[in-house]
Amino acid sequence: MARKLSLIFLIILNIAASAAGQDRKQIEWQADSVNYDVNIGQGAYRLIGNVRFDHEDVVMFCDSAYYYSKTNSLDAYHNIHINKSDTVHVYGEYMHYDGNTRIAQIWQNVKMEGQNTVLYSSRVEYDLGKNIGYYTHYADIESGENKLRSRLGSYNANNETYFFRDSVTLINPDYTMYSDTLSYHIRTGIAYFLGPTEILSDSGYIYCENGWYNTETNTSMLKDKAFVQNQSQQVTADSMYYERETGYGEAYSNIDLFDEEQNVILRGDRASFNQQEDRSLLTDSALFIYITDEDSIYVHADTLRAIPDTGGFRQFKAYHHVRLYKSNLQGKCDSLYYSTSDSVLRLYDEPVLWSGENQLSAEYIEIRTKNQQVDQLYMDQVAFIINREDSTKFNQIKGRNMTCFFRDNDLYKIETVGNGQTVYYAKDQEEIIGVNVAESSDLTVWFRDNTIDAITFFTNPVATLYPLELAPEEELILDDFSWHESIRPGKKEDVFR
């Protein structure tokens, strides 16, 4: 029974081998002279002069060759030329070709020409069945103005695509690209990044670890640690579309736009920008950071916009639900404007600020900075300062306009001009002894440790010091009083509340 099974198995193998042999097409050849030597490779034909091989859709030429009919293979020497359906031409000095696997190994001065590209290498393996060439000993590729080089790679002639690996360099007259892994499509001119990639030019620097770059239009989609830099700005994001010639870009998620000249950082999760025009627009968790010496000012809004002015300075605009945080100054408003020409932050639409224990509000507020520190606050129309003594008692200063002065980032003086009014709780060794209700056209308030220390009245002051238990309740709260402590940002993260 075992002998019968073995016999059947051998018959099957012979049938399979016979069928495989029938599927293989023998290499056809011709040459000026032919010699046969049975001692070489179990019998070889020595072909010399104008040697030509035909195999399926491929024609091969050389000066001389050995052809092995039993293995359907050959070794060719000098002036090798492979013509694959007039779409790919390969040249070299030496070649081994296996007609059964349809794989050609070509080495020494190898040149591989596609429709729009030329490859140079010391050794190439070309799978003529799949129409794909491989190299493992470095190659230089020319495609139009682009010159590429890598240690490992392949060329797929079917879709005219190169795949590069290890030490990839693409040189263009306008930039140079370095990559770990790169796929390059000849017809479209698009390079696809599959690893860490850098693009360097006179105008800037680009980095990412995934994405694509169109070498014809100089547009790109950058993903994974996307980074774009020019002489004064740099942008990072999870992903970014960028046009190198126009400077226009769109960024998505974890965006960080840093302006080194202006000491400003813009952050958000969606942005558009133009580096040549110095413009940017951020939405979705948008954050404006004005960098100062000791600590920075953080501003959040629904929308942030940065644009240049006619004098060459930059303007930053924040729209809707604005929140501001600095360690010694916090605030809220509905819109904010900042210009690098005068280093002033302007707050509009019900602005409120907090400095230490003091709440400051007006119809319009300016934060004036000097040497990257808050220097003055200007409050216009219904200017109001509130300082809470306890849950029911509030020191209050009200006037038409106020200017607040800072020293070493601490509030130390306020000058009130027009319709000055105060409600001030007098103390004796920290014990409240009465409440002073006063009016004066102009007044100056002095602060110590961010609390009221003294008030100086000017121009016909009228004041009454009431014992605490006799103070009229209707005089203890000035008109337009409004306490907003519940919405005060306690830390920089609170600007997103």
**Domain annotation for the chain: domains and CATH numbers:** 351-480 (2.60.450)
Query: Is the pLDDT assigned to residue 290 strictly greater than 90?
Result: no
Model confidence at 13, pLDDT cuts 50, 70, 90, reads: very low
Query: Is the pLDDT assigned to residue 21 strictly greater than 50?
Result: no
Q: In 324-463, where does DSSP find H-type helix? A: none
Query: Is the pLDDT assigned to residue 8 strictly greater than 70?
Result: no
Residue 447 has a pLDDT of 85
| Least-confidence region, from 20-34, 93-107, 326-340 | 20-34
Average pLDDT taken over every residue of the chain: 88
Cα–Cα distance for residue pair 166/338, rounded to 1 Å: 48
| Of residues 155 and 3, more confidently modeled | 155
- Which helix (H) or strand (E) is 17 found in, with range? helix 2-23
Please state the pTM of the whole predicted model: 0.74
| Of residues 147 and 244, more confidently modeled | 147
| Of residues 84 and 42, more confidently modeled | 84
Cα–Cα distance for residue pair 223/204, rounded to 1 Å: 18
- Structure-token match 């795949």, residue found: 163
Structure tokens at 313: 């300075």
Residues above pLDDT 70, as percent of the chain:
94
Average pLDDT over residues 438-452: 86
Query: Is the pLDDT assigned to residue 48 strictly greater than 80?
Result: yes
Query: Is the pLDDT assigned to residue 12 strictly greater than 90?
Result: no
Cα–Cα distance for residue pair 376/409, rounded to 1 Å: 10
Strand partners, 365: 347, 379
Amino acid at 355: S
Query: Is the pLDDT assigned to residue 3 strictly greater than 80?
Result: no
Residue 17 has a pLDDT of 35
Query: Is the pLDDT assigned to residue 24 strictly greater than 70?
Result: no
DSSP state of 349: S
| Least-confidence region, from 50-64, 297-311, 443-457 | 443-457
Residues above pLDDT 90, as percent of the chain:
60
Longest CA span, the chain: 131
Cα–Cα distance for residue pair 271/226, rounded to 1 Å: 14
Average pLDDT over residues 250-262: 88
Query: Is the pLDDT assigned to residue 425 strictly greater than 50?
Result: yes
Q: Residue 62 class from Cβ within 10 Å (0-12 exposed, 13-18 middle, 19+ buried)?
A: buried
Cα–Cα distance for residue pair 316/307, rounded to 1 Å: 7
Query: Is the pLDDT assigned to residue 360 strictly greater than 60?
Result: yes
Is there a contact between 398 and 421 (Cβ–Cβ < 8 Å)?
Answer: yes
Query: Is the pLDDT assigned to residue 4 strictly greater than 80?
Result: no
Query: Is the pLDDT assigned to residue 323 strictly greater than 50?
Result: yes
